[in-house]
Structure 1
Amino acid sequence: MSDTPAPGADSNSVVLRVKSSSNANALAAAVSHAVYDGKDVSLRAIGAGAVNQAVKALAIAQSFVASRAISLSFRAGFSEAKMPEGNVTAMVLKVLVD
């Protein structure tokens, strides 16, 4: 997991890069704390294992924020990511706070 500002994004947004080896609980805590701080949160995952960890983390984050009467959902989308081996498609999960 890596906390990276999105290109052209303001300081109120956070993009968390997710790997298949990311700890879902740690990622959920990062999402929860960003939500508590009022930030716009997105998770970027490349590959099936990374998408799996991202979705698990969002389910766990929902349980973390529920005690504060916050409800989370997400909207899935795609983006291009530049990698040393060329451009790859990444799944982006935009966290929505209800």
Structure 2
Amino acid sequence: MEVLKVSTRSNPKAVAGALTAAFRNQGSVEIQAVGAGAVNQAVKAIAIARGYLAPNGYDLVMIPAFTEIEIDGEERTAIKFIVEPR
């Protein structure tokens, strides 16, 4: 499963495009975000991607969860969203 990392500065439309392409190739995608701003951008991107894929008959759902990741040698808690078809 492809992992997309989203930051506060990520463009939601660009992330939605990457999510759509990864979804078409693999059928499900994981998005990781650390911090409130990054989670906000990730949720916007998922909403936009749903609009991109709906005309093709896909109804996306997301499953949120916590995950531990390493950033600059430091353990951080991130929110991960598993995006898959309903």
TM-score by structure 2 length?
0.93
User: Does the residue aligned with 1:29 lie in a helix, a strand or coil?
Assistant: helix
1:12-34 residue CA offsets vs partner (Å, 9 max, x unmatched):
x1000000000000100111111
Q: Which structure exhibits the higher relative contact order, with contacts defined as CA atoms closer than 8 Å and separated by 6 or more residues?
A: 2
Looking at structure 2, the residues matched to 56 and 83 of structure 1 have their Cα atoms a distance apart, in angstroms, of 24
| 2:58 paired residue among 67, 70, 74 | 70
Residue matched to 2:4: 16
The ranges of structure 1 where at least 4 consecutive aligned residues each deviate by more than 6 angstroms after the TM superposition are none
CA contact (8 A) 1:24 1:56 kept: yes
Of 5, 19, 26, the residue aligned with 1:38 is: 26
Alignment pair present for 1:28 and 2:16 = yes
| Unaligned ranges ≥5, structure 2 | none
Q: Give the alignment of 1:73-92 within 5 angstroms.
A: 73-84=61-72, 86-92=74-80
Aligned residue-pair number = 86
Deviations 1:50-88 (A, max 9, x none): 000000000000000011010001000011111226211
Which residue is 2:43 aligned to?
A: 55
Consecutive unaligned residues in structure 1, runs of 5 or more? 1-12
Counterpart-to-counterpart distance in 2, 1:85 and 1:36: 33
Conserved 8 A contact 1:14-1:39: no
Identity %: 37
